[in-house]
Amino acid sequence: MVRRLANLVNLSTPLGLVIARAGGARLSHAPRGLWLAEGYSLPFPVAGAFTVGNVVITPRSAADLGDRVLAHEERHSWQYMACGTFFMPLYLAAMTWSWLRTGDRAARNIFERAAGLADGGYVDVPLRPLRRLLRRGVRP
């Protein structure tokens, strides 16, 4: 209840509903105060599912996602409660850091790690040495 109210007040859930509708997704209520937005059709972001506020958005069906992915996405809704719509630029920064350090957008992303890498379908990737990055420049 607290998360639902906070994400409504911080405008992240209303933003999630707008994004879902813009992507042509079908909305339905889900357990634990979440919304499911299935059949999202926009090409960005490239993800099996992503969350904005309390809205879990996916091009697939919720049944295809499974319980572990839904639990992972629910953890992101708690992160939205803490960060509000600032979550998006913070997530982008964390994703960039992860890519610079590992070549993978999720492995060292603090938000993905806190939501459970494996539950989200991600794998851990070793760090690249910082001195190599600084000396030679960033390479994928």
Report the pLDDT value the prediction gives residue 139, as an integer from 0 to 100. 57
pTM of the model: 0.88
Report the pLDDT value the prediction gives residue 130, as an integer from 0 to 100. 74
Strands of the sheet containing 55-58, edge to edge, are 26-29, 35-38, 55-58, 50-52
Report the pLDDT value the prediction gives residue 62, as an integer from 0 to 100. 85
Cβ neighbours of residue 72 closer than 8 Å, sequence gap 6 or more = 115, 116, 119, 120, 121
Q: How many CB atoms lie within 10 A of CB 104?
A: 18
Report the pLDDT value the prediction gives residue 87, as an integer from 0 to 100. 97
Mean pLDDT split into 10-residue runs, the chain, 140 residues: 96 97 96 95 92 97 91 97 95 96 95 96 89 60
Report the pLDDT value the prediction gives residue 16, as an integer from 0 to 100. 97
Report the pLDDT value the prediction gives residue 133, as an integer from 0 to 100. 60
Cβ neighbours of residue 117 closer than 8 Å, sequence gap 6 or more = 106, 107, 123, 124
Report the pLDDT value the prediction gives residue 131, as an integer from 0 to 100. 67
What phi-psi label fits residue 66: left (phi over 0), alpha (psi between -120 and 50 degrees) or beta? left
CB–CB of 80/51 below 8 Å?
A: yes
Paired with 37 in beta bridges are 27, 57
